[in-house]
Copies of this chain bind each other. A is one copy, B any other.
Amino acid sequence: MTTLLNDRDLQFLLYEFLDTEALLKRPRYAEHARETFDATLETARHIAEELFAPHLAKGDANEPHFDGERVHLVPETKAAWDAFAQAGFLSAHWDEAEGGLQMPEVVLRSAITYFKSANVATSTYSFLSIGSANLLRSFGTPEQKARFLAPMGDGRFSGTMALTEPGQGSALGDITTRAELQPDGTYRLFGQKMFISGGDHDLADNIVHMVLARIKGAPAGVKGISLFLVPKYLVNEDGSIGARNDVTLAGLLHKMGWRNATSTVLSFGERGGAVGTLVGDAGKGLAHMFQMMNEARIGIGLCAAAIAYRAYLMTLEYARERPQGRLPSCKDPLSPQVRLIQHADVRRMLLAQKAYAEGALAMCLYASSLFEDQHTHPDETERRNAGLLLDLLTPMVKSWSSKYGCASNDMAIQILGGSGYIREYPQEQLYRDQRLNPIHEGAEAIHGIDLLGRKVVMQSGAAYELFRAAADATLEEARNIPELATLADGFDTPLARLGKVTAQLVRLQSSDPDRALANATIYLDAFGRILAAWIWLKQALAAQRGLVNAKQGDRAFYQGKLHAARYYCNWELPATLPQFDLLAGVEDTPLTMQDAWF
């Protein structure tokens, strides 16, 4: 059995890097104990190992197919879905009154990471169901909740988010699916959606699509978009399954990886209109959907972290076992071969993988802890601040994890060499699976513009100030610890330049937004590196605390954390400086490139 995550690391992140035990003091979690958190993780690990991991390659080699009537998945997928549902993971975070276990977000997200590591494609169905049920919990009418929530919580129904259309891509304001109001208060939907993950399958009795559409007569752009609940099968008042709704599978898309998750083209209303009901307020569809998108963005960050983590652990095992060549200092061909891990460049790549994979996991769980605070912190200001900071960080949590997740899986292949490139080893599939993450839930450029064009600007830069204050507090703490003072000093220039460049580009946005945002992707990457370095410094502080009383085996764990922090701060943080030069100069070679010159 391959290790899916380093369990020790997860314990470190939850209880040393974050203070998850402190949640037990909040009234919502009074019934819990650290033991219930740990038992949740243990259950997740067990199901992930037993029912998700074993068909990783099989689901890839036998991708879903559509026989014209039904979509078929490898049967292991259904067993995995059922076990996930039966263990209560679909509704673990719900209130007790809703039938949930009131599990904290950060614990649930940690648990779910095991499934993503084991088999990201199979985990997608659950992941989307949780998100769409959350939308319903937030914005659904009592009637919608009564009819749909319970079966979405126990796995009889699954859910999707249906945003993208063939002609519109990332620009959601241009969607054309239309909804026509009926005398009975329901709507009929007409249009086509594309790249809808989990849009059809044979895992559940019904599929609840959360669909963005435009009510007839609504204004153009995002203000005319509303959110609808459109089930695959209508549901009778008593909860029993009714007639087939007018939602049909127009086709499956064939992905490079992530294959066991269906990606679908769905047609609404080819036979008179798909029956849908309005969720939330008319014209607020995109705003409502952003709840799910923001959750999903942290979720994608976790997918990236998990896929990178799995590959890292496998590569490490390979590098420790595989004999290969000799060190440059050894000129004796009769001396025994060393292990791969003894080569400096292999160790560099393993250390980078560790920095990316563990760093992404830490970053995503930190974001989850902000989500937790936003919703359950006893202090109102803390709740508001946590929400603001999470808003600011979300584009980076998603994009940094995805980008460096890809870099990490790339190194995993490189360390294995030819073996990394063949399907006889899992690395090549993980590399293909990982490549989706910089695309879905907003391609990288979208997040750059979101960060620089909205997030650092909102509320007069309040979120940015919160980040700076949090970073400064960490730096002050680190400067007082001799082992970490140098690392802390390394932040001075990047942070100062980030502040300057941010102010400059925010100013420029009012006069020339196209120019100010032209290099927003570079800004996203530079800020993301600083965020990642800060997350590593926070881990280093926790490791330094842990070292004080650590036992022998644990000392190595903490030393590894400290060394990975050193690696990230020394190797990756300074790479922001040429980026800030480009940003400060508002370098415009790409902007001034003309179509005819290509």
Closest to A328 in B: B513
A337 neighbours in B (Cβ, 8 Å): 171, 174
Query: By the criterion CB–CB under 8 Å, are B325 and A590 in contact?
Result: no
A431 neighbours in B (Cβ, 8 Å): 256, 435
Query: By the criterion CB–CB under 8 Å, are A421 and B436 in contact?
Result: yes
Query: By the criterion CB–CB under 8 Å, are B169 and A324 in contact?
Result: yes
Query: By the criterion CB–CB under 8 Å, are A344 and B591 in contact?
Result: yes
Query: By the criterion CB–CB under 8 Å, are B582 and A571 in contact?
Result: yes
A360 neighbours in B (Cβ, 8 Å): none
A410 neighbours in B (Cβ, 8 Å): 406, 435
A221 neighbours in B (Cβ, 8 Å): 333-334
Query: Which chain A residues numbered 301 to 328 have a C-beta less than 8 Å away from chain B?
Result: 316, 320, 322-328
A458 at the binding interface (Cβ < 8 Å)? no
Closest to A220 in B: B333
Query: By the criterion CB–CB under 8 Å, are A439 and B420 in contact?
Result: yes
Query: By the criterion CB–CB under 8 Å, are B570 and A587 in contact?
Result: yes
Query: By the criterion CB–CB under 8 Å, are A220 and B448 in contact?
Result: no
Bound-state CA distance A164–B417 (Å) is: 12
A435 to chain B, nearest CB (A): 7
Q: How many protomers of this protein does the assembly include?
A: 2
A345 neighbours in B (Cβ, 8 Å): 444-445, 448, 518, 520-521, 590
Q: Given contacts A255-B422, A571-B582, is CB(A344)–CB(B518) below 8 Å?
A: yes
A548 at the binding interface (Cβ < 8 Å)? no
A443 neighbours in B (Cβ, 8 Å): 414, 417
- The proximity string for A residues 246-288 relative to B, scoring 1 for CB distances below 8 Å and 0 otherwise, is 0000000111110000010000000000000000000000000
Contact partner of A597 among B421, B436, B438, B559, CB < 8 A? B559
A577 neighbours in B (Cβ, 8 Å): 577-578
Query: By the criterion CB–CB under 8 Å, are B598 and A343 in contact?
Result: no
Query: By the criterion CB–CB under 8 Å, are B418 and A173 in contact?
Result: no
Query: By the criterion CB–CB under 8 Å, are B428 and A351 in contact?
Result: no
A32 at the binding interface (Cβ < 8 Å)? no
Segment at the interface with B among A68-76, A463-471, A560-568: A560-568
Bound-state CA distance A347–B517 (Å) is: 13
A323 neighbours in B (Cβ, 8 Å): 167
A47 at the binding interface (Cβ < 8 Å)? no
A348 at the binding interface (Cβ < 8 Å)? yes
A residues at B contact (CB < 8 Å):
164, 167-171, 173-174, 194-195, 219-223, 253-257, 263, 316, 320, 322-329, 333-334, 337, 341, 343-348, 350-351, 354, 406, 410, 413-414, 417-418, 420-424, 428, 431-432, 435-436, 438-440, 443-445, 448-449, 453, 512-514, 516-521, 556-557, 559-560, 563, 566-567, 570-571, 574-575, 577-578, 581-582, 587, 589-598
